[in-house]
Amino acid sequence: MSKLVVDTWLRADDGIVTVVLIVASILSIFWLVRMLTSKKTHPPLPPGPRSLPLIGNLLSLDPELHVYFASLAKVHGPIARLWLGKKLGVLITSPELAREVLKLHDTTFANRDVPVAGVEATYGGNDIVWSPYGDQWRMLRKICVREMLSNQTLDSVYSLRRREVRNTVKYLHNHVGQPVNIGEQMFLTVLNVITGMMWGGTVKDEDRATLGAEFRQVVNEIVGYLGMPNLSDFYPSLALFDLQGVRKNMKVLAKRLDGIFESMIDQRRKMGSDENKDFLQFLLKLKDEGGDYKTAFNMAHLKSLLMDMVVGGTDTTSNTIEFALAEMINKPEVLKRAQQELEDVVGKDNIVEESHINNLPYLYAIMKEVLRMHPTLPLLVPHCPSESCVIGGYTIPKGARVFVNAWAIHRDPSIWENPLEFKPERFLDGKWDYSGNDFNYFPFGSGRRICAGTAMAERMFMFLLGSLIHSFDWKLAEGDKHDLSEKFGIVLKKKVALMAIPTPRLSSSIMYE
């Protein structure tokens, strides 16, 4: 090889080295700049407990999720993460951060991470609770709130609520001196009101025990599966195998309710259109004739709205009343004070009417206090950001399951004096309300996804519990201990059913008819 060729090669090599060095330097600068800027735009994930590869934190989950999540917040702070298999869970446990999620970034977090159980229960997630934030959700919510849950509609069907509440008082009067399963009776009363509003149906007195208990069991199981950690949700690639059988069982339960819906729809179709102007008739007309909505209203929407009302409206209200009565029996001075208020406003020779409820501030304070201590949906319905978002200085990636722990915030000693004491008086000054603007106290949630049934829940609670304690004195069944412990589910319930014995306290037995 000639010297000239070797020199040329060496010079060419120098050139290559120089070019490589320049490119490397430019790339390094780019990398550095990216690192620095990406650090700025993508803060880290929230802190959380150490997790195992693939399994994440699944092995340390406690069935009482609300309590377990509160304990994690104590260690990791008001925003924490948890790996549920491949799914990222984010726990929000302070009023400030709840405000960021539910108010400042309301639109981003107005979505749901729909569990497999939710899809099965609601004809493919076609209901209000699980629809993503968008036209379908807007349509369903508007229909429900306007046609069934508005104050105006509720006023127009007062006679129905009155009839059911009177039936319950009568039933209790027939069981004076005997232990009554309060949750079951409250469930049945609310169920009758809701089905009465939907299609005019009520469970007859003779079927009260059997049909009511069956309905309650189905709703209980559906609600149970909705709150249960399910591997199919945490490992979507395993969903096909349905390892815990959640989808299979949910299908069976949904089918049982669907059978009832089908037969109601059938009966309603056979009736003339002028008979019984109820919610179902309105929905059928909307389905057949169409409405002024961007999304066409179909049969899946119709049935899933019925499902929302039955599942979302019954257990929630009845469990709250059961907790309230249990707390009052445990604190007889609270029961006495509420009874005195009713005596002052209603009298002992009169029965409670819904028109009285606005004049019962102490009973209202009891409702607020029970929703503070035992918020019916302790973690709300989990929210899900539609895009990555920074909360409290940490990134919550798109698609994470966000649990806002209202239960823990409602028991935070830095906000509430003696938070574990049941003390309705704390609400008497009207300082706290649950309209969703106060993030120290939000049992119905806040923002776009706030509960759609607040007005109905309020009326049923006040009217039904007011009637119960105005008409009867209450004590526990012989040998029963006061037990106020909770059992976690998407809807919180009493661990031990309240069995209580009614004793009449009104002046005449006519008032129990």
385 binds ligand HEM (CB under 6 A): no
Rounded to a whole number of angstroms, the minimum distance from the CB of residue 67 to ligand HEM is 18
In sequence order, which residues have a C-beta less than 8 Å from that of residue 298 and are 6 or more positions away? Answer: 287
Taking CB atoms, the residue at the shortest distance from ligand HEM is 453
> 58 or 144, CB closer to ligand HEM?
144
144 labelled binding-site residue? no
Provide the 10 A C-beta neighbour count for residue 29.
10
Does the protein bind ligand HEM through residue 372 (CB under 6 A)? Answer: no
Which listed range, 22-30, 252-260, 306-314, 325-333, lies at the site for ligand HEM (CB under 6 A)?
Answer: 306-314
Q: Is 128 in the site for ligand HEM (CB under 6 A)?
A: yes
Closer by beta carbon to ligand HEM, 181 or else 454: 454
The 3-state DSSP class for residue 247 equals: helix
Q: What is the DSSP letter of 273?
A: T
> What's the CA gap between 467 and 324, in Å, rounded?
13
- Please report whether residue 381 would count as binding ligand HEM according to CB under 6 A: yes
CA distance 57 to 80: 12
Which of 449, 459, 493, 494: binder of ligand HEM (CB under 6 A)? 449
Is 143 one of the binding residues for ligand HEM (CB under 6 A)? no
Check if the beta carbon of residue 54 is closer than 8 Å to that of residue 225. Answer: no
Burial class (CB in 10 A: 0-12, 13-18, 19+), 274: exposed
* Buried/exposed code over 314-325 (b: 16+ C-beta within 10 A; e: otherwise): bbbbbbbbbbbb
What is the C-alpha radius of gyration for the chain, rounded to an integer number of angstroms?
Answer: 28
Q: Within 13 A of 513's CA, how many CA atoms are on the CB side?
A: 4
- Nearest approach, Cβ of 244 to ligand HEM (angstroms)? 24
Asked if 411 is part of the footprint of ligand HEM (rule: CB under 6 A), the reply reads no
308 binds ligand HEM (CB under 6 A): yes
Interface with ligand HEM, residue 445, by CB under 6 A:
yes
> Residue 275: which of 284, 142, 148 has the closest Cα?
284
Nearest-approach distance from CB 55 to ligand HEM, in angstroms = 28
457 binds ligand HEM (CB under 6 A): yes
Contact region with ligand HEM (CB under 6 A), list: 162-170, 202-210, 236-244, 443-451: 443-451
Residue with Cβ nearer ligand HEM (128 or 373): 128
Pair 379, 67: CB distance under 8 Å: no
- Of 185, 304, 376, 395, the one binding ligand HEM (CB under 6 A) is 376
Query: What is the rounded CA–CA span in Å between residue 156 and residue 354?
Result: 12
Positions that interact with ligand HEM (CB under 6 A): 128-129, 141, 149, 308-309, 312-313, 316-317, 320, 371, 376-377, 380-381, 443-445, 449-453, 456-457
| Binding site listing for heme | 451
